[in-house]
């Protein structure tokens, strides 16, 4: 994985964990935190795929 992808993946995973804990504890903003984590994970996947496609050319 490239050095750009690891921070997005780590932060997204952290937000998903916090969002899941928040859902269990019934925090009002837990869904927003969970959604932000999923967005960061999506960005990490897109960056990873882009780097793989770019290196194949």
Q: What is the pLDDT of residues 6-23, one digit of tens each?
A: 777 888 899 999 999 999
Host domain of residue 31: 1-41
In a domain, 46, yes or no: no
Q: Is residue 33 part of a domain?
A: yes
Domain membership of residue 57 (yes or no) is no
What is the spatial distance between Cα 46 and Cα 9, in angstroms, rounded to a whole number? 11
Give 51's pLDDT tier (boundaries 50, 70, 90): confident
Residue 51, domain member (yes or no) = no
Question: Is 53 contained in some domain?
Answer: no
Residues whose CB falls within 8 Å of the CB of residue 34, separated by 6 or more in sequence, listed in order: 15, 16, 19, 20, 22, 23
Please check whether residue 56 lies inside any domain of the structure. no
**32-48: pLDDT as tens digits:** 999 999 999 998 888 88
Confidence of residue 55 (pLDDT cuts 50, 70, 90): confident
The tally of domains found in the chain comes to: 1
Residue 28 forms part of a structural domain: yes
pTM for the structure as a whole = 0.78
């Amino acid at each position: 994985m490239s050095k750009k992808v690891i921070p997005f993946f780590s932060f997204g995973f952290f937000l998903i964990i916090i969002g899941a804990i928040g859902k269990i504890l019934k925090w009002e903003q837990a869904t927003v935190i969970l959604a932000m984590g999923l967005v960061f994970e999506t960005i990490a996947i897109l960056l990873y795929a882009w780097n793989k496609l770019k290196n194949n050319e």
